[in-house]
Every structure is written in structure tokens, then in C-alpha cells.
Amino acid sequence: MEPIIRTKDLSIQFGGHKAVDRVNFEMPEKHFKSIIGPNGAGKTTFFNLLSGELRPTEGDVFFKGESLAKYSSVERTRKGLGRSFQITNVFPNLTVLENVRLAVQSKEKVRFHFIKSYRSYKKITEEALVILDQVLLLNKGEAIASQLSHGEKRKLEIAMLLALDTEVLLLDEPTAGMSLEEVPTILDVIRTIKQRGNKTILLIEHKMDMILDLSDSIMVLFNGKLLADGTPTEIMNNETVQNAYLGGLYDGELVETS
Amino acid sequence: MKTSNLVSKYHVLFLIILLFLIAFPFVADSRTLTILFTQIFIFSILAMSYDILLGYTGIVSFGHAMFFGIGAYATAILLNTFEPTIGVFIGSIAVGIVLSGFVSFLVGLLTLRLKSHFFAMLTLAISGLLLVVAEKWRTVTKGNDGFTFRAPDIFKDRIVFYFCVLACLVIVFLILRRFVQSPLGRLLIAVRENEQRTRSLGFKTLHYKVIASVVAGVIASLAGSLYAVSLRFVNTSVMAMDITLDALLMTIIGGVGTLVGPIVGSVVIEFAQHYLSGLARDFPIFERWIIFFGIIYILAVIFFPKGIVGSILQALSKWKSKHEDRKIFALEKDKEHSP
Ligand SMILES: Nc1ncnc2c1ncn2[C@@H]1O[C@H](COP(=O)(O)OP(=O)(O)OP(=O)(O)O)[C@@H](O)[C@H]1O
Ligand SMILES: [Mg+2]
């Protein structure tokens, strides 16, 4: 089967520093893959290359067999590559509901409608409310995004990705900096999406128990290079991974540093 | 239910102000004030158009006067060339709008992909260029000296013109309000708030910036047409930086990102200008009223970043939430007492 997403020698260099270094990876449709690696390994940069936020200095990304080189982040989202951001990236002065509604608006292709008031697009609001309910933010709908707690902002970030309803979900540390009580909400949301079985999911995380719980496969980035890619058992038993990365760090959970 | 309550309150206020403005020229019987009000309406239209760029889409343009100028010249030249009838007047507005729409589309498409400060500089350069064209193309514009022309006879009555401009203001206000509240308008705000994220959601932000620029250009052109007729005279000053600065000042002082703000701003600035230039007869320093505006401007940006309307809205919402807290508090107290 044609992989839904594939990279060939994907690389990017910042000055002399190769943040992503000839990464070849692919994943089949409806697969759940996690990306692990120490801080600065190039995980977020890898996402930026997939989503078009950054352009590679070498190599290419393929989506359903088609090269994405000529497509901007806008077009990649429309094709079905949606992402969330590690550093919360929302519309700070709009309400939570409006933030999500903008994402739904994109999904529903309501782009140039200027005759009717946005309030009359009931379906968009309703869909946004459903999503907010999923991430337990329903009671915060009227709050201004910038006034949310950190954990709530993270939930909003994910809500916006879910609202886009893209085929591929790129999740960049959805629980980064969340308090322990809030993590299960996000874990549940991600698990539910996975169980529905119609999404391809790529997850960057540091929380090992969460990764082992969710992933069909795991890939390890180290210094921009793809160190290993395999099933959770393979990765946990992989000697290189052990030495390079898991070694001193893994004791039930990776050291949290985000 | 609460919001509909609130909305109808605003509607009532809107109607009261409108009725006042309709009655005003009959009651006040002051030629000076009628003319001043007409001027305020015209600049309200201009400032609202500027706010579509600055307040709603987050685009800083230093060249907005060029569209005002295009409208002013289109109307002046056409009324001067043909019979000054209402038909020609309306036609000239249309010509100005089409020209401005075309120019703003082109300028927007070519420059809006640039970083915002480059865009601001380029708009300054392009409008400067147009100003030079207006100065040099003497056969048509009579350059710096400008020319007088006859307005349609019906506008000889200042009150008729007052109503014509008031009608334009109300119509533009209603259209723009609908526009900013449409899904498209929400996207302009999204671009202002976080352009990169808007793109990441799958919206081509350049399109929205160009649309904002065209809408703003077209409305500014209408204001320019009305302005020319109000003076029955046009020269290159309609394209000058002062016009852009006026629009900028009105928008910022009144409150960016609202449509009422620019209107309030133009009331404040026009009245201030009017009375300060009156004072200038006795105290020559007031001739430099622009210095005062510089000071007001700086103070406004420091202490009133949201402008008059923005600050009022903020105070209102604070007051409301306090009020509600108190209500809840009172309720809880009741509960404590009831058993
Ligand atoms: N735009 C950029 N310009 C220059 N250097 C960059 C840029 N983006 C990332 N880098 C560098 O690339 C390297 C990889 O960064 P990246 O954010 O991808 O790491 P990460 O694996 O996501 O780390 P973390 O776990 O902390 O999120 C880092 O050394 C970083 O400083
Ligand atoms: Mg990262």
C-alpha cells in the first residue's frame, strides 16, 4: 500500500547546524506513530518541514505519493495535513469559541462569504461547541483565549486541530507543560480519535507511558538523524536507542523538560 | 437573551443619534456647524475605511490618502468637464471607486506579501508617486494650484448636501458592519491576530489582505468624492500625507477595531481642529495645531491604546462582570439566609 506520508532525505540546515539530517520515513494510512528524541533533536523542525512552515534545504515530503515541495502550509492543510503547535499558537484576543469556529470555518470551506452575519452559520458554531465539549472546554467558550490557564490553552490548541478534521494529525507535544491532572483529558481525546480509526496520527511526546499506550510504532530522532523506527517493543529493546537516548533517562517516564 | 438585550440597547442609541443628526440642521440653523458636521461625516467614512485596514486586518498603510485623492480628482475632473448634474456626480463616484478598487487591488497584490514595515514604506512611496503625478499633470489637475468647479445645483443648499453625506455615512456604516461581521470579516480579524496561524488553518491570508485593501480603498474614494464636492475645489492636498495622518489619528484616538471608534475619533479631531484654528487668531501657537495632535497622539497611544470607544467598552465589560459577581454574591447570601 502507498504510504500516506513519506519523506526522502529530508534535511534542513540552520547556518552550520543540521537540525534535520536526511530523514527517510514513511507511514501507512490510519497508523499511529510517535516521535521521541531529546530536546533539540529536531522533532518540531521535522513537523515544520512536513507542514510547510519551513522549506527543506534538501529532500522532499510526499503526501499520497505526491511531492509537496510546491505547496505552502495553507495548501498542505487543505490537502489534509493538519497540525498543532508545541508553543501554543492561537488567536489571543478572540474567544475560545471563535478560535475553534475559525478552524471549523476552514473545514467547511466558508472562506469568502460576506453577505450574512457569521452568527447565522449555526452549523459552524454547533460543530465548534461539540469539539469544545470533547476537550472539556465547553464552559470556557466565551473566555478570551489569552486569559486561559496554560493547560486550557493546550486544550484549545488541540481543539483547533480537531476542528480542522484533517486526515493526518500532527501533534506536537500536546501535553507540554500541562499539570498532571489535565493530562488524562488530552490522553483520552487522543485515544478516542485513535479508536475511531479514521485518522493518521503523528505524535511528538516526552511522556513514555503515554507513547507506549498509544503508538503502533515509534521513531527516534537524535541530532536531526533518524536513529530508529519500529514497534514499541523493538524501540525499547534497541541497543542504539538505549545507549543514545533512553539509557540514563528512562525510568518509567522521560525527564520532562518542556 | 442578555446579548439581544444589549444589541437592542445599541440600536436605540444608534436611532437616537441618527434622529438628532437628522433634526440638527433644522434646529441649529448654524451654517458653520452644518458644514463642520458634513466634514465630520466625510472623515468618518474615510476613518472607517482606514480602520478596515488598521483595526480589522492589522495592516499599517501610509498611503491611504491616494484613494481619497483618486475619488476627489475623479469627481472634480468629471464635474468640471461635463455638466455638473447629479448623474455626473454619481457617475464620478463610480469612476473613482472603480479606479481606486483597481489601484488598491494592484498595490495590495504586489506589496501585501511583504513584511508589514516594508508594506508601510511602499504604500508611502506609491502614494508619494501619485502625488507627484497629480502635481505634474497640470493639464488635468492644474497641479498644486488646483481648480474650482461647479457642484450639482441641488447641493447649493448646504442642508441637502449634509443629508446626502449623512446618508452615505449611514449606508457605509451598515455595509461595513455587515462586512466585518461576516465569516470573511472574521478572517480579517484572524489575520490581524495571528497571520501565521490563519495560514496554518488553511486560509490564504494574502487574499484577505488584498480584499481588505480593496474595500478600504473603495470607501476612501467615496469619501474623497464627497470631500471634493464639499469644497467645490480640489488640489494636490487631497493626496497629501496629512489626509492619511488624519485618518490614522481619528482611528487610533477613537478606537481601532470598531466602526464606531473612527466616527468618534473624527468628531473629536474635527471639533478640536475647528476650535484650535479659531484660537489661532488670538494665540498664533495654535496655528501649529498639528503639534498638539502629535502630543495627543503620543498620549493616546500610551494611556489609551484602545482609543475612546475601546476603553469605554472595556470599562463596560469590567463593570458588567463586577455587577454579575455581586449578583451571584447576593444570591449566595440569600441562600445562606433562607434556611
Ligand atoms: N528557525 C530556526 N532557526 C535556527 N535554528 C533553529 C530553528 N528552529 C530550530 N532550530 C534549531 O534546531 C534544533 C532542533 O530544534 P527543534 O525545535 O526541532 O527540537 P525538538 O526536538 O522539537 O526539541 P524539544 O523537545 O525541545 O521541543 C535546535 O538546536 C534548534 O535550536
Ligand atoms: Mg519541539
pTM listed for this prediction: 0.89
> Are residue B284 and residue B183 in the same domain, yes or no?
yes
The confidence score (pLDDT) of residue B179 equals 96
- Residue B14 falls within a domain, yes or no? no
pLDDT of residue A79: 95
Statement to judge: residues B333 and B218 lie in one domain: no
Asked if B324 and B254 sit in the same domain, the reply is no
B6 within domain boundaries: no
Residue that wins the pLDDT comparison between A241 and B100: B100
Q: For A11, what's the count of Cα atoms within 13 Å in the CB-facing half-sphere?
A: 12
Q: Facing residues of A218 across strands? A: A34, A230
Give the pLDDT band of residue B290 (cuts 50, 70, 90): low
Residue A137, pLDDT > 60, answer yes
Name the pLDDT band for B289 (thresholds 50, 70, 90): low
Same domain, B233 and B326: no
Q: What percent of chain A has pLDDT over 70?
A: 94
Helix (H, G, I), strand (E, B) or coil at B240: coil
- Looking at the structure, do residues B300 and B333 belong to the same domain, yes or no? no
What is the DSSP pairing of strand A168-172 with strand A32-36?
unpaired
**What pLDDT, on the 0 to 100 scale, is given for residue B262?**
95
Per-residue pLDDT band for A116 (boundaries 50, 70, 90) equals confident
For chain A, the average pLDDT equals 90
Q: What is the mean pLDDT of chain B?
A: 87
Q: Name the residue of chain A whose CA is nearest to B193's CA.
A: A91
Q: Name the percent of chain B lying above pLDDT 90.
A: 56
Mutate to test the pocket of ligand 1, among A17, A36, A45, A257 (most ligand atoms within 8 A of CB): A45
**Structure confidence at residue B4 (pLDDT):** 53
Whether residue B143 sits in one domain with residue B98: yes
Atom of ligand 1 nearest to the CA of A38: 25
Cβ contact B179–A116 (<8 Å): no
What single-letter DSSP state applies at residue B55? Answer: I
**Per the CATH hierarchy, to which homologous superfamily does domain A1-73+171-177+205-258 belong?**
P-loop containing nucleotide triphosphate hydrolases (3.40.50.300)
CB pairs under 8 A between A and B: 83
Nearest ligand 1 atom, CA A224: 14
Instruction: Report whether B228 contacts B71 (CB < 8 A).
Output: yes
Q: Out of A95-99, A172-176, B223-227, B334-338, pick the least confident.
A: B334-338
Quote the radius of gyration of chain A (alpha carbons, Å). Answer: 18
pLDDT recorded at residue B216: 97
Residue B328, domain extent = 314-339
At residue B317, the pLDDT reads 79
Confidence of residue B298 (pLDDT cuts 50, 70, 90): confident
Question: Residue A246: its pLDDT value, please?
Answer: 57
Cα separation, A247 vs B38, in Å, equals: 78
Q: Cell numbers 455595509 label which residue? A: B175
pLDDT surpassing 50 at residue B145: yes
Average pLDDT over residues A33-41: 92
Q: What is the tens place of the pLDDT at every residue in B58-85?
A: 999 999 999 999 999 999 999 999 989 9
Residue B142's pLDDT is 87
Q: Are residues B300 and B319 in the same domain?
A: no
Residues in chain B within 8 Å Cβ distance of A90: 194, 197
Is residue B239 domain-shared with residue B161, that is, in the same domain?
Answer: yes
Q: Are residues B180 and B321 in the same domain?
A: no
B250 is a domain residue? yes
| Ligand 1 touching residue A48 (CB < 6 A) | no
The pLDDT value recorded for residue B296 is: 73
* A257 or A243: which leads in pLDDT: A243
Q: Strand A32-36 relative to strand A200-204: parallel, antiparallel, unpaired?
A: parallel
Place of cell 467598552: B313
Q: Domain count of chain B? A: 2
Mean pLDDT on A20-42? 93
Residues 6+ apart with CB under 8 A from B339: none
Residue A117: CB atoms within 10 A of its CB come to: 14
What DSSP line would sit under chain A, residue for residue?
---SEEEEEEEEEETTEEEEEEEEEEE-TT-EEEEE--TTSSHHHHHHHHHTSS--SEEEEEETTEE-TT--HHHHHHHTEEE--SS----TTSBHHHHHHHHHHHHTT--S--SS-GGG-HHHHHHHHHHHHHTT-GGGTTSBGGGS-HHHHHHHHHHHHHHHT-SEEEEE-TTTT--TTTHHHHHHHHHHHHHHT--EEEEE-S-HHHHHHH-SEEEEEETTEEEEEE-HHHHHH-HHHIIIIIHHH-SSSPPP--
Residues of B in contact with A91 (CB under 8 A): 189-190, 193-194, 197
B288, B337: one domain: no
